[in-house]
Structure 1
Amino acid sequence: MRTVYPLVRYRNPVKGIDWLVQAFGFEVHAIHKDDDGVVGHAELTVGTGMIMTGTGEPGGPGIYVVVDDPDAHHARAVAAGAEVTRELADQSYGSRDYACKDLEGNEWFFGTYGP
């Protein structure tokens, strides 16, 4: 199983996903929508690789890392001075995860979800 995934966000992820498929040849692996039909999480493959995407403000890409114990990982990151940008929580797509920035402002996501 892969444990590190590049992550990109789109204000309109449906349009972004369609564009990635058309422009770069990605294939849709999974799309998870909330009760209002908003894409919270999606997975696209290309060759042997996979990226994750969803609704959010575009910016620098993030990295998603699968961890066995997100609660302990969160505590360790906070103790080291990570800036938590999304609190640790259970997600509708089956992950328990959180997001933070490192000392240079790079965005990292850690959770239990492994596509």
Structure 2
Amino acid sequence: MSYILDSYPYPVVFVDCDHIIRHMNKKANYHYYQERRYRDLIGKSVFTCHQNVESVEMIKAAVEKLKNHASEVFLHVNVRNERVYIVPVRDESGRLLGYFERFEMNLQK
């Protein structure tokens, strides 16, 4: 399974419902460890990376929408002109297990 995530051209960081980072693909490792100089994020709160009040509130509000069965939640367009979404990960009964950020190129200007 990790090979599939590693082949995805954008960072994938899986976070559980307690906001703890559980998995990062290779692109996420590069982005957070090489470009942004974070260390040892696995097992730490996603709010280690997203520390400002606006980001924390945006993520918490998005996760609440996911808990109410949203399929994904648009967050913003980042500095790389990518649209950022939070996507739920659910088990076979539909219970929310966690979430990840999904990036896509923003073709609108």
TM-score scaled by length of structure 1: 0.29
Q: Which has the higher helix share?
A: 2
Higher strand share: 1
